């Protein structure tokens, strides 16, 4: 039986997704990140089975053939995908999973009718998003312009999601996401066993 809940989280670059999700995971139990599979080589310090499952192109394509990914995509000649087995193992063990994924990936999951909770994290305004992208100083003007245009177009899909977390003040956004996870754990359909025990 699947006990855990799958939280699919999307956010435009600069919305603060990683900061929020890290804070949420540190403050609530039974919650973990999903681990993606990829064919790109490990970067320095990255560990197989922790940061990614690093697969050869052959292994990855075999996995696609065997329908072992919830979704996958090819980006700049490398495959990225979400391994089913890892997620379902964790969910069966009672862990909730955060699956950090872009709009295309999330829509692919929805198409498969995967029972999941879909969250979209947004900045308080597009202007603030631009400020944040400029401030963090990691990207040149062209990249910033591209990320900004992408953010704008991604945000057109929010209505396909269940929840929207507006990251105006970080602490409030973290509380919002914690509330969503806590509330989802109170859903009647997730408490069937407990309810049967109580009513028995």
- Specify the residue, 73 or 178, whose C-beta has the smaller distance to a copy of itself: 178
- Specify the residue, 93 or 183, whose C-beta has the smaller distance to a copy of itself: 183
Tokens, residue 20: 């929020």
- Specify the residue, 20 or 55, whose C-beta has the smaller distance to a copy of itself: 20
- Specify the residue, 2 or 195, whose C-beta has the smaller distance to a copy of itself: 195
Burial class from Cβ neighbours inside 10 Å (0-12, 13-18, 19+) for residue 107 reads: middle
- Specify the residue, 69 or 163, whose C-beta has the smaller distance to a copy of itself: 163
Q: Which residues bind a copy of itself (CB under 8 A)?
A: 120, 122-126, 152, 155-156, 158-159, 161-166, 175-176, 178-180, 182-184, 186-188, 191, 194-195, 197-200
Minimum distance from residue 175 beta carbon to a copy of itself (Å): 7
Gap between the Cα atoms of 142 and 185, Å rounded: 43
What is the rounded end-to-end Cα distance, in angstroms, of the chain?
20
Q: 85 CB contacts (<8 Å, ≥6 apart)?
A: 68
Phi-psi region of 19 (alpha: psi -120 to 50; beta: other; left: phi over 0): alpha
Tokens, residue 121: 């994290």
Minimum distance from residue 121 beta carbon to a copy of itself (Å): 10
Gap between the Cα atoms of 21 and 33, Å rounded: 9
Minimum distance from residue 95 beta carbon to a copy of itself (Å): 18
Minimum distance from residue 164 beta carbon to a copy of itself (Å): 5
Minimum distance from residue 189 beta carbon to a copy of itself (Å): 8
């Amino acid at each position: 039986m699947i006990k855990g809940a799958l939280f699919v989280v999307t956010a435009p670059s600069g919305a603060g997704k990683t900061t929020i999700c890290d804070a949420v995971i540190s403050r609530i139990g039974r919650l973990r990140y999903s681990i993606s599979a990829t064919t790109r080589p490990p970067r320095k310090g990255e560990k197989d089975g922790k940061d990614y499952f690093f697969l050869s192109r052959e292994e990855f394509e075999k996995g696609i053939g065997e329908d072992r990914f919830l979704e996958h995509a090819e980006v700049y000649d490398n495959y990225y995908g979400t391994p089913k087995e890892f997620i379902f193992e964790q969910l069966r063990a009672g862990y909730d999973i955060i699956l950090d994924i872009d709009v295309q990936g999330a829509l692919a999951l929805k198409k498969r009718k995967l029972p999941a909770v879909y969250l979209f994290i947004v900045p308080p305004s597009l202007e603030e998003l631009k400020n944040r992208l400029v401030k963090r100083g990691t990207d040149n003007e062209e990249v910033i312009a591209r990320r900004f245009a992408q953010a704008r177009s991604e945000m057109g899909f929010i209505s396909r999601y269940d929840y929207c977390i507006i990251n105006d003040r970080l602490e409030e956004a973290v509380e919002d996401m914690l509330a969503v996870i806590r509330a989802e754990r109170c859903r009647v359909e997730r408490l069937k066993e407990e309810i049967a025990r109580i009513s028995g």
